[in-house]
C-alpha cells in the first residue's frame, strides 16, 4: 500500500514538474476589438462571449474605440457526398465548414493576414431516418462552430499588433 502511494506521488510530482497545466482562457494582445460581423448571428454572440471571458479584451460597438477590427471574409457550410450504395442512394456524407478572417489595426494595417480555418465531420446516412439525421447535422455543425471558435481564439492570442505609427509617403 505504501509503495502505491509513493509511486502515485512520484508520478504526480513528475507531471507537475514538466510544466503541464490545463489550457485556460486565451489572453489577447489588444485591449479592445470591433467585430465587423452580423451582430445577431449566433456565431458572433459566441465569439463575443469567448473574447470577453479572456479577461483582457473588451468588444466595443464603435470602430473608433477599437484597437483592432475583426473581419469575416467567409463562413461557408456545405454537405459533400462521400459514398453511394449500389442503388445510387447516399451512404455517407461529409459536413464541411470553412471560416476565413483577417484582423486590421486602427490604421488599416494587417495584424493577422487572411487566414482560414477548415473543419469537417463524416456522417453515415440511413434511409428512413432523415429527421434524426437533420438533428445530428445541427449538433455536428454546432460542434464544428465550437472547434472554429477555439482555433480562432488561439490564433488571435498569437496576433502581434503593429505598434509603429503609419508612415507618410508624402514626406520629403
pLDDT at residue 120 above 90? yes
> Does residue 4 form part of some domain?
no
pTM: 0.76
Grid cell, residue 100, equals: 476565413
Grid cell, residue 133, equals: 439525421
> Does residue 42 form part of some domain?
yes
pLDDT at 116: 96
What is the residue range of 59's domain?
A: 25-157
> Does residue 78 form part of some domain?
yes
Q: Can you say whether residue 54 is alpha, beta or left, with left for phi > 0 and alpha for psi between -120 and 50 degrees? A: alpha
Listed in order, strand segments (DSSP E) in the chain are 32-36, 58-60, 68-84, 90-105, 110-124
Mean pLDDT on 136-148: 94
CATH label of the domain that carries residue 125:
3.30.160.150
> Does residue 80 form part of some domain?
yes
Q: Which residue has the cell 508612415?
A: 167
pLDDT at 96: 96
Into how many domains does the chain fold?
A: 1
> Does residue 167 form part of some domain?
no
159: confidence class by pLDDT, cuts 50, 70, 90: confident
pLDDT tens digits, one per residue of 69-84: 999 999 999 999 999 8
Mean pLDDT of the residues in the chain: 85
> Does residue 144 form part of some domain?
yes
Neighbours of 39 (CB within 10 A): 9
Residues with Cβ < 8 Å from 54, sequence gap 6 or more?
Answer: 25, 26, 27, 28, 153, 157
22: confidence class by pLDDT, cuts 50, 70, 90: low
> Does residue 20 form part of some domain?
no
pLDDT at residue 7 above 80? no
- pLDDT above 90 covers what percent of the chain? 51
> Does residue 17 form part of some domain?
no
Cα-Cα-Cα-Cα dihedral sign, residues 58, 62, 64, 69 = positive
Amino acid at each position: 500500500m505504501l509503495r502505491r502511494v509513493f509511486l502515485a506521488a512520484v508520478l504526480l510530482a513528475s507531471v507537475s514538474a514538466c510544466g503541464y497545466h490545463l489550457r485556460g482562457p486565451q489572453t489577447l494582445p489588444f485591449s479592445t476589438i470591433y467585430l465587423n460581423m452580423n451582430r445577431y448571428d449566433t456565431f458572433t454572440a459566441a465569439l463575443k462571449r469567448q473574447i470577453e471571458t479572456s479577461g483582457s479584451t473588451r468588444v466595443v460597438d464603435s470602430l473608433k474605440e477599437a484597437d483592432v477590427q475583426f473581419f469575416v471574409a467567409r463562413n461557408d457550410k456545405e454537405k459533400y457526398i462521400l459514398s453511394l450504395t449500389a442503388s445510387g442512394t447516399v451512404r455517407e456524407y461529409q459536413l464541411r465548414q470553412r471560416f476565413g478572417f483577417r484582423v486590421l489595426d486602427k490604421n488599416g494595417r494587417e495584424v493577422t493576414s487572411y487566414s482560414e480555418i477548415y473543419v469537417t465531420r463524416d456522417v453515415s446516412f440511413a434511409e428512413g431516418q432523415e429527421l434524426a439525421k437533420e438533428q445530428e447535422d445541427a449538433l455536428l455543425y454546432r460542434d464544428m462552430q465550437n472547434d472554429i471558435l477555439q482555433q480562432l481564439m488561439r490564433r488571435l492570442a498569437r496576433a502581434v499588433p503593429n505598434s509603429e505609427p503609419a508612415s507618410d509617403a508624402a514626406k520629403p
